[in-house]
Chain A
Amino acid sequence: MNSNNFWKLLGALGLSFLLPWLFLIVIPFIGASNAEPVAYGADEEMEGGVLAYPDKSFLRHGASDYGRQIYAAEGCAYCHTQMVRPTYAGPDMWRPGWGGREAEGLARETQPMDYVMEDFALLGYQRIGQDLSNVGHRITTRELMHRHLSDPKSFDPDSGMPAYRHLYRQSPYGSGLVPTPEAEALVDYLLSLKKDQALPARVLSGR
């Protein structure tokens, strides 16, 4: 093979890959990078003086960043998704509580901006357990969340979730369990999982 053909071939191999690389990955990535919060319009009144979507105080909770690391390290994302699909792609929105606060009319599928507080959206791999996009609305107290982690079968005897006993220590004062700092951080993170903030009109019309 003469060297002219060689470079032509490499060029063709590169070009065939360059197009999807550019249009499917690089350009959408640059477009989505460093997304700024979207302010609510003047006529959209939000409870509690919230000014923009996503609201940081809404999504950050205690040591939730460390808790997110624990969530990833334990591989929670291999069984739990954080992605509520629209009804044309699955019945997620019909599951009670998956889409968010239904009673307040806030239930919706997840949006790209819902994940901006994280550095990687843990959308998940399989759905062995429930979707956790809005678990912070379904399990609301620390005590219940700890019980879910340390003894999931006490809620549903058929649950397929293992007990995360290594995140808890035996209490020196009796039969109870004492959470480690890791467990506390994980609970902070799980309680912060709420992806149902009301969307500003600009986000809705921009789709």
Chain B
Amino acid sequence: MTVPQPTPEDLNERAAIDRSARYPVMFFFTSAAAWLLFATVMGFVSSLKLRVPGLWDACPFMGYGRLFPVHFNALVYGWAMQAGIGVMLWLMARLTRSRVQHPVALIVFGHLWNLGVIVAVGSIWFGASRSIPLLDFPAWLWPVLAVSYGCMVVWVIPMFHSRRNTLFYVSELYLIGAAVWFPWIFITANLIINKGTAPVMGAGANAWYISNLIYFWMAPVALAVAYYIIPKISGRAIYSYPLAQASFWLLAVLAGWTGFSRYMGGPFPAWMPAVSGAAAIFILLAIVATVANLMLTLKGCTKLWEYSPSLRFTMLGMLMLALYAVLSAMSSTFVFGKNLQFSHFLVGIDTLAFYGFFSMTMFGAIYFIVPRITGAEWPSGSRIRTHFWFSTYGILTMVVTMLVGGIAQGGNLAQWNQVFSASFVNSSAYVVGRAIAWLLISFSNLLFLTQLGLMFLGKGRKTEGATLLHKEPGEASSAREVVGIQ
């Protein structure tokens, strides 16, 4: 199947939409990339600190217990959510053929969000953390974040409502889902935790929040990107539209039940972790069906992977999503879970979600979007290649060492008659792997930030033809042309 060729009017309309999105979306991407560099450097420092606990231990700001949440919160709220919001706005505008309205308001609330994240990260670092993973910041801060998220993302809904297309895209479903689910999850988790009348349910709501952030916000945004970029670059329609819809609704019905298996065996009624574990296993159906659907769309034109940076990042992100779903289902069962719970595996799998599938897909989207909204091409294909390989090797190093290290650490923890510190000593070699992984990723993101900064300043390439991974610039207009499809 092929998609119809755009007419000149279509192209003009697209250009107008891209122009309307330029300033807010570029603002979100650039500040997100700056947060990403900060977060990955903090990831390296915190891993180093875990390997060498005595390092700078007279300095209060250098404790692992502060550095790790600083890294985690900066990664999620600074980078992931901001990049995701930028992508949501642009993608919804393009899909529904409406312009991005109120760019000034978007930028103002974007600043408010950034200010909120700075205060959140700063308060954790300067000793006001509450040790609630991903909600560590002081209680008064969450309404600020909720309001600025709401005021940025609410514009997606009128765009969707006034859509003029007769075709109905799966990406739109995912985007609208992510837009309405996240505030609900965030407000619920914060209200329950800050009310403080049921302390154990507070911890449960926290675990539920992390899992829902991944399955109800990150996965939908990433899948919306994949359902857009993969058909767009390959020039083909989705392999199976009914399957795409069915797996969307399966994810929607199941994702809200996940999360409690993080604390299985904890002080909860036994049915709660059991239901969460079952939901995490059934979600495999939705995720595997979706990823298979996307990969089958690319059947016969996988050579595009070699040339198109957007497609390469997006495909890798989708494979990582499938890996995440498998690992999270596995760790939700007692068989694996009882040894993997509380081990390094947990850090590995959370990072796989935040960096592995979500960030990789966002990079794919950003490499696609930024040339269109700035009207210039990326300065260097080889830098994009370096960004890709350093990020990929980094995240694979992370996942493999944390998975194997988690099994080793969990095995040591299970040996109750062994000295406790054996589990620390035996797993410390794997923590070196984690530090190296963050070093590789930090380097790749330094390149990414400089490239994005050049684009932001209008220093992109102004010649014809997209920047491809393995082709001199200016010779071909798209990866499809190089590979010779259509």
Contacts and interface: CB of A to CB of B under 8 A. Distances in A.
A95 B199 contact: no
Interface in B167-190: 168, 173, 176-177, 180-181, 184, 188
Contacts of A73: 66, 127-131
A125 B127 CA distance: 18
A13 B177 contact: yes
A119 B53 contact: no
B334 A125 contact: no
Contacts of A21: 184, 188, 256
Contacts of A119: 196, 199, 202
Most buried by B among A110, A115, A120: A120
Contact of B252 (A16, A32, A153): A16
Contacts of A161: 53
Contacts of B346: 125-126
A13 B179 CA distance: 11
Given A19-B256, A29-B192, A10 B180 contact: yes
Contacts of B65: 74-79
A158 B419 contact: yes
Given A72-B131, A81-B342, A158-B424, A6 B161 contact: yes
B424 A128 contact: yes
B201 A164 contact: no
Contacts of B130: 72-73, 120
A90 B338 contact: yes
Given A122-B131, A166-B59, A159 B421 contact: yes
B420 interface: yes
B257 A24 contact: yes
B160 interface: yes
Interface stretch (B22-30, B262-270, B433-441): B262-270
Contacts of B241: none
B260 A13 contact: no
Contacts, number: 222
Nearest to A130: B420
A121 to B, nearest CB: 4
B443 interface: no
Contacts of B192: 25, 29
A140 interface: no
Nearest to B68: A78
Given A83-B263, A160-B53, A75 B63 contact: yes
B420 to A, nearest CB: 5
For the residues of A in contact with B, the DSSP-based class is: loop
Interface string B179-221: 0110010001000110111111111110010000000100000
A32 B200 contact: yes
A16 B199 contact: no
Given A34-B197, A156-B421, A13 B252 contact: yes
Nearest to B208: A25
Interface string A115-140: 11011111111111110000000000
Contact of B180 (A13, A71, A130, A163): A13
A144 interface: no
A103 interface: no
Interface in A1-35: 1, 3, 6, 9-10, 12-14, 16-17, 19-21, 24-26, 28-29, 32-35
For the residues of B in contact with A, the DSSP-based class is: helix
Given A14-B180, A35-B198, A160-B428, A76 B131 contact: yes
B202 A121 contact: yes
A111 interface: yes
Contacts of B343: 126-127
Contact of B205 (A29, A34, A126, A165): A29
A126 B347 contact: yes
A166 B63 CA distance: 10
Given A89-B334, A163-B54, A24 B272 contact: yes
B362 interface: no
Contacts of B163: 1
Contact of B131 (A34, A78, A162, A165): A78
Nearest to B413: A127
A94 interface: yes
B82 interface: no
Nearest to B427: A128
A19 B256 CA distance: 8
Given A17-B216, A162-B64, A88 B334 contact: yes
B151 interface: no
B110 to A, nearest CB: 25
A120 B416 CA distance: 28
Contacts of B50: 128, 160
Interface in A102-119: 109-112, 114-116, 118-119
A86 interface: yes
B474 interface: no
B379 interface: no
Contacts of A32: 198, 200-201
Contacts of A72: 129-132
A6 B419 CA distance: 60
Interface of A: 1, 3, 6, 9-10, 12-14, 16-17, 19-21, 24-26, 28-29, 32-35, 71-79, 81, 83, 85-86, 88-91, 94-95, 109-112, 114-116, 118-130, 153, 156, 158-166
The 6 A-B residue pairs whose C-beta atoms are closest, nearest first, are A75-B65, A89-B265, A20-B256, A119-B196, A85-B265, A127-B342
